Amino acid sequence: MPENWDRCLAVVAHPDDIEYGPASAVARWTAQGKRVTYLLATRGEAGIDGMHPDEAGPLREAEERAGAREVGVDVVDFLDHRDGVVEYGPALRRDIARVIRRHRPEIIVSGTFTTRMSAGMANQADHRMVGLAALDAARDAGNRWIFPELLDEGLEPWGGVRFVAYASAERPTHGVDVSGDPLRRGILSLAAHARYTQGLGASGFEPGPFLTWVARQDGRAMGVEAAVLFDVFQIIPDGPPPWLA
């Protein structure tokens, strides 16, 4: 995946979504001096069956901030949409576009918005809504006549998002080598979500073996020890179209 950029915004639905792989790529990028910011649509308050949302929300927010620190991210924003029933539409697009204008990323990382994920897994509703809204908001943020109310907030248009990269895609197009320390830090990032993973009960797992296995499987596609794969959607061409090159 291209790495000739300086600012990234990761946009996902829930605490722990970034940590299932992409956090290892984030660790690589922050070690290179790039700035990565997290944006979560919800606080994951509906994610622990045995814990009331009023208690689970603050807990999962704290775990997300702790996990972010493990990979060099110090800004984590939340939109407070309701966990489990996030709705795609102008309100969500505007909320994401607002943050894009504020942080002015060159790339956006999210989770795939398709119904089917990698390994044939069915995708969750919130993931689909947020992933698609992130793609549309990348363009909305650059158009002053879409959500003009953002101008009243002092947020000028930002049309500098070059591409949106989706993790867990069924058909990835690009990859990031996370061999060595990036994978180690990514594992620590997911391990920070201890109360959440414990709340999964019998379906819980150890972050280290799981992420290592996935990263090594993906690494085969790149010919490296460990990788995170993405499906990249271009917003701004990096060069002339192939037919003009």
With bands split at pLDDT 50, 70 and 90, how would you rate the model's confidence at 202?
low
DSSP-assigned states of every residue in 62-105: HHHHHHHHHTT---EEE--PPTT----SHHHHHHHHHHHHHH--
Asked if residue 244 has pLDDT above 70, the reply is no
Which CA distances in Å does 20 have to 44, 111, 150, 185?
15, 10, 32, 12
With bands split at pLDDT 50, 70 and 90, how would you rate the model's confidence at 242?
low
User: Which pLDDT score is estimated for 199?
Assistant: 65
**CA–CA separation, 26 and 17 (whole Å):** 13
User: Which pLDDT score is estimated for 97?
Assistant: 98
Asked if residue 60 has pLDDT above 60, the reply is yes
**CA–CA separation, 69 and 26 (whole Å):** 11
- Both tokens of 54, joined, read 């009023």
Q: Which helix (H) or strand (E) holds 188?
A: helix 181-191
